[in-house]
C-alpha cells in the first residue's frame, strides 16, 4: 500500500542547495518536506568529500554570499566545526571555508527542525506525476515501501535535475557538440601529514607551485590549500590525466583532502557508467596515495583515512530554463534586474577530455549576478531548480556549481517556492521584487 504525504513545498535533494531551500521555505511559513536518498544530509559536501567550501568572496575580498549560508558557517564556528573564512593559500580565490562534515550533517538537521521541515532520508524519487503542466506528486522508493508526496511547489536540488527530467522539462548535458561533462573525482583524506614540511617546501621552491600562491605571506597564514608539486608529478608519470597535485588541509591538524583523481568520458546519470567510475576512482585513489607517500614532502608517514562515500560529480543534467547564464555574463560581471544571488567564483572548467583546467576571472567588482529566471524551467509551472542543475551554459556551470553559490540559489528557490505556494501562482509569475525584499531581509547579498 502506498503511503501519502503532502506539503506546500517539496524539496528533492538534501545537499547544500536543498538544505538551504528547505530552511528558507520553512522560515516563510510553508509546510515543507525535504527528500534525500542517503541516510545523511550534505550532498557532495559529505557524500563525496567535496572540501573546503569556496568561495563566499570576490577576488578582492568582498563577501557576496551571506544569508543562510553564512549563518551555517557562523553556527559551525560556535560548535568548533569550522575556523570560518580563511585566505586561500593557493591564490586561486580569496578565501576558502574549511568545515567538519559530520558537524555539518547534524547542524543541517537541527536547522531544518527549527524551520519546521519534515525530513525523509533513505528515499529516492523514481517517478513524477504531471497533470496539465503541474507536478502533482513525486513517487519515492525506500525500505518502507512506496510513498507518494503531493505538493503545491517542488524544488529540484538533486544535482542531476532528476525531477525536472522525469517531469519532461527540457534539460541539457555537458558542453555543446559532444555533450561531454567535466570529469568526476574520487576525493579522499590522508592523516599523518607533516603540513609544516609542505609549507617549507613551497617557500623554498616557488616555481614548483601555482603562480598566484601568496609565497611572501605563507609563514603568516594558515596553510589552507596547495596546488603544484609539478616536478614530482611529471617525474612520476602517474597514469591519471591531470597536470598537477591539488590538496586542501584539514579539518584535523595533520590531515589533507586530496583532489587529484580524474575520471573522464562517463555519464553521471547512467548507472553502468557510475559503476565504472566508482571502480576507476578508487583505483586512482590508491595510485595517488602511493605517489604522495613516496614522492611528495610531508607524506612519508601519511595514510588514507577516508574515501568519499561516492565519486564526486561536477556536472550532469541541468535545466534549460527561462534564461541560460553564459560565460560572458560571468566574466563581465553582468547585473540583472531579477538578481537572486551573486557569486565571485571564477570560471573553473576541469577539461572533459584533456589534462588541464580552463580559468577565467570575473571582471568589474569581481562578482556576477544569478537571475531568478535561471531557476525557472520551461513547461512545468510549479517547479524550481537550484544548485548544480539550474539553467546555465556548460562554461557558466563551472562557477555556479560551487557550494556557496548552490547554497545561495537554494535559499532563493526555497523562498520563491513558499511565495508561489502562498499566492497560488506559478513559479514564473511570483513578484520578483518581493522575493528580493525577502532575500535581503534574510541577509542575502544582491547589491
Q: Which of the four pLDDT bands, split at 50, 70 and 90, describes residue 197? A: very high
Q: What is the pLDDT of residue 356?
A: 77
- Mark which of 286, 307, 328 sits at the end of a domain: 307
Residues 161 and 213 in one domain: no
What integer pLDDT is reported at residue 249 of this predicted model? 98
pLDDT band at 358 (very low <50, low <70, confident <90, very high): confident
Its pTM stands at 0.97
Residue 90 lies in a domain: no
Q: Does pLDDT of 424 surpass 90?
A: yes
- Written as nine digits, the cell of 184 is 568526476
Average pLDDT along the chain: 97
Residues 34 and 76 in one domain: yes
Q: Which domain holds residue 122?
A: 3-82+100-179+315-441
* 71 or 1, greater pLDDT: 71
Among 276, 307, 338, which residue terminates a domain?
307
Q: How confident is the model at residue 434 (pLDDT cuts 50, 70, 90)?
A: very high
11 is a domain residue? yes
Query: What is residue 388's three-state secondary structure?
Result: helix
Mean pLDDT of 379-403: 97
Is residue 250 pLDDT above 90, yes or no? yes
The predicted structure's pLDDT at residue 409: 98
pLDDT at 290: 98
Do the domain assignments include residue 87? no
For β-strands 225-228 and 245-249, DSSP reports them as antiparallel
My answer on whether 267 and 301 are in the same domain is yes
Contacts of residue 199, Cβ cutoff 8 Å, sequence gap at least 6 = 218, 219, 223
Evaluate if residue 35 carries a pLDDT over 90: yes
Instruction: For residue 91, tell me if it sits in a domain.
Output: no
- Kindly report, residue by residue over 294-314, the tens digit of the pLDDT: 999 999 999 999 999 999 999
- Asked whether residue 447 is assigned to any structural domain, the reply reads no
Same structural domain for residues 348 and 273? no
State the pLDDT at residue 112: 99
- 63: domain CATH number is 3.50.50.60
**pLDDT, tens digit (0-9, with 9 covering 90-100), for 70-107:** 999 999 999 999 999 999 999 999 999 999 999 999 99
Q: What is the pLDDT of residue 264?
A: 96
What pLDDT score does 68 carry?
98
Which pLDDT score is estimated for 351? 84
pLDDT, residue 80, reads 98
Average pLDDT over residues 345-354: 88
Region 49-55: what's the mean pLDDT? 98
Overall domain count for the chain: 2
Q: What pLDDT sits at residue 265?
A: 96
| 105 and 217 belong to one structural domain | no
Residue 50 has a pLDDT of 98
| 52 prior amide bond cis, ω within 30 | yes
Question: What's the length of the chain?
Answer: 447
Same domain, 171 and 320: yes
- Residue 217 carries which DSSP code? G
Percent of all residues in the chain with a pLDDT value above 70, rounded to a whole number: 100
Query: Could you tell me if 318 and 165 are in contact, meaning their C-beta atoms sit under 8 angstroms apart?
Result: no
Taking the C-alpha atoms of residue 15 and residue 77, their distance in angstroms, rounded to an integer, is 20
94 found inside a domain: no
Same structural domain, 192 and 328: no
- C-alpha separations of 355 from 46, 240, 245, 285 in Å: 26, 9, 12, 17
Neighbours of 131 (CB within 10 A): 8
Q: Is the pLDDT of residue 365 over 80?
A: yes
Assess whether 239 and 165 both reside in one domain: no
Q: Mean pLDDT over residues 204-220, rounded?
A: 97
- On the question of pLDDT at 354 being above 90, the answer is no
Q: What does the pLDDT look like over 231-243, one tens digit per residue?
A: 999 999 999 999 9
136 and 285 co-located in one domain? no
Confidence category of residue 355, pLDDT binned at 50, 70, 90 = confident
Residues 354, 294 within the same domain: no
436 HSE (CA, 13 A, CB side): 16
Residues 6 or more apart in contact with residue 431 via CB below 8 angstroms = 419
**Letter string b/e over residues 57-71, b meaning 16 or more CB atoms within 10 A of that residue's CB:** bbbeeebbbbbbbbb
Residues 298 and 322 in one domain: no
Read out DSSP for 227-263?
A: EE-HHHHHHHT-SSS-SSEEEEE-SSTT-EEE----B
Nearest to 416 by CA among 100, 161, 157: 157
* Alpha-carbon span 167 to 163, nearest angstrom: 6
Q: Is residue 88 part of a domain?
A: no
What cell was used for 22?
528547505
Of 288, 307, 326, which residue is a domain's last? Answer: 307
- Selection from 303, 375, 288, 365 nearest residue 332 by Cα: 365
Residue 196 covered by a domain: yes
Summarize pLDDT for 258-288 with one digit per residue, the tens. Answer: 999 999 999 999 999 999 999 999 999 999 9
235 and 362 fall within a common domain? no
- Peptide bond between residue 251 and the one before it cis (omega within 30 degrees of 0): yes
At 124-183, the pLDDT tens digits run 999 999 999 999 999 999 999 999 999 999 999 999 999 999 999 999 999 998 999 999
pLDDT confidence bin for 435, thresholds 50/70/90: very high
Q: How confident is the model at residue 322 (pLDDT cuts 50, 70, 90)?
A: very high
Amino acid at each position: 500500500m502506498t503511503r501519502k504525504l503532502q506539503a506546500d513545498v517539496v524539496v528533492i535533494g538534501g545537499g547544500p542547495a536543498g538544505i538551504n531551500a528547505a530552511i528558507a521555505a520553512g522560515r516563510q511559513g510553508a509546510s515543507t518536506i525535504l527528500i534525500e536518498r542517503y541516510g545523511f544530509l550534505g550532498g557532495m559536501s559529505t557524500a563525496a568529500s567535496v572540501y573546503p567550501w569556496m568561495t563566499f568572496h570576490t577576488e578582492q575580498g568582498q563577501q557576496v554570499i551571506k544569508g543562510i549560508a553564512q549563518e551555517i558557517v557562523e553556527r559551525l564556528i560556535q560548535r568548533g566545526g569550522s575556523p570560518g573564512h580563511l585566505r586561500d593559500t593557493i591564490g586561486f580565490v580569496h578565501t576558502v571555508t574549511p568545515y567538519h562534515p559530520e558537524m555539518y550533517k547534524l547542524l543541517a538537521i537541527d536547522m531544518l527542525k527549527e524551520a519546521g521541515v519534515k525530513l525523509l532520508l533513505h528515499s529516492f524519487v523514481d517517478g513524477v506525476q504531471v497533470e496539465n503542466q503541474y507536478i502533482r506528486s513525486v513517487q519515492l522508493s525506500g525500505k518502507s515501501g512506496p510513498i507518494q508526496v503531493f505538493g503545491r511547489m517542488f524544488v529540484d536540488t538533486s544535482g542531476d535535475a532528476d525531477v525536472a527530467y522525469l517531469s519532461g522539462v527540457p534539460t541539457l548535458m555537458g558542453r555543446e557538440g559532444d555533450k561531454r561533462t567535466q570529469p568526476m573525482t574520487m576525493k579522499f583524506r590522508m592523516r599523518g601529514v607533516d603540513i609544516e614540511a609542505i609549507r617549507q617546501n613551497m617557500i623554498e621552491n616557488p616555481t614548483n607551485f601555482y603562480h598566484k600562491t601568496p609565497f611572501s605571506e605563507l609563514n603568516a597564514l594558515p596553510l589552507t590549500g596547495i596546488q603544484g608539486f609539478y616536478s614530482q608529478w611529471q617525474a612520476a608519470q602517474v597514469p591519471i590525466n591531470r597536470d598537477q597535485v591539488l590538496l586542501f588541509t584539514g579539518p584535523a591538524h595533520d590531515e589533507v583532502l586530496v583532489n587529484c583523481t580524474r575520471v573522464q568520458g562517463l555519464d553521471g546519470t547512467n548507472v553502468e557508467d557510475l559503476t565504472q567510475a566508482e571502480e576507476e576512482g578508487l583505483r586512482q585513489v590508491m595510485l595517488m596515495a602511493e605517489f604522495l607517500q613516496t614522492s611528495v614532502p610531508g607524506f612519508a608517514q601519511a595514510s588514507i583515512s577516508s574515501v568519499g562515500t561516492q565519486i564526486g560529480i561536477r556536472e550532469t543534467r541541468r535545466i534549460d530554463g527561462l534564461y541560460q547564464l553564459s560565460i560572458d555574463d560571468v566574466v563581465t560581471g553582468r547585473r540583472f534586474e531579477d538578481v537572486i544571488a551573486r557569486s565571485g567564483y571564477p570560471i573553473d572548467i576541469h577539461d572533459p577530455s584533456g589534462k588541464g583546467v580552463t580559468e577565467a576571472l570575473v571582471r568589474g567588482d569581481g562578482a556576477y549576478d544569478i537571475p531568478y529566471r535561471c531557476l525557472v524551467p520551461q513547461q512545468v509551472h510549479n517547479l524550481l531548480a537550484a544548485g548544480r542543475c539550474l539553467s546555465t551554459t556548460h562554461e557558466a556551470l563551472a562557477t555556479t556549481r560551487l557550494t556557496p553559490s548552490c547554497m545561495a540559489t537554494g535559499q532563493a528557490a526555497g523562498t520563491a517556492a513558499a511565495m508561489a505556494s502562498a499566492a497560488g501562482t506559478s513559479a514564473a509569475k511570483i513578484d520578483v521584487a518581493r522575493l528580493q525584499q525577502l532575500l535581503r531581509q534574510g541577509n542575502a547579498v544582491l547589491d
